Amino acid sequence: MVQKVIEIVGISDESFAKAGDNAIQVASETVRDIRWARISEMECKVEKSKIIEYRVLARIYFDVER
């Protein structure tokens, strides 16, 4: 088996977990056989001392078709 890895950024105005979910959901629209995801970075956008956006860097692992 061989796998390929892509990196994408998931974004949510609710939480880091939701940002991760969004990354997987959107990637799964065009990528088949997703097997793993690794969240390696988390960031948040702040305005007026409040978090308004959560972002995660997700590495998506999927099987290469033969």
> Identity (one letter) of the amino acid at 5?
V
pTM exceeding the 0.95 threshold for the entire prediction: no
Residue 1: what pLDDT?
Answer: 84
Q: What is the CATH number of domain 3-63?
A: 3.30.1660.10
Domain assignments of the chain as residue spans, ordered by start: 3-63
Question: What percent of the chain shows pLDDT beyond 70?
Answer: 100
- Contact residues for 18 (Cβ-Cβ < 8 A; gap 6+): 12, 54
What is the residue whose two structure tokens read 């892509």? 6
| Alpha carbon of residue 5 to chain centroid | 12
pLDDT at 65 over 90: no
Closest by CA to 53, choosing from 64, 39, 41, 42, is: 42
Tens of pLDDT, residues 37-64: 999 999 999 999 999 999 999 999 999 9
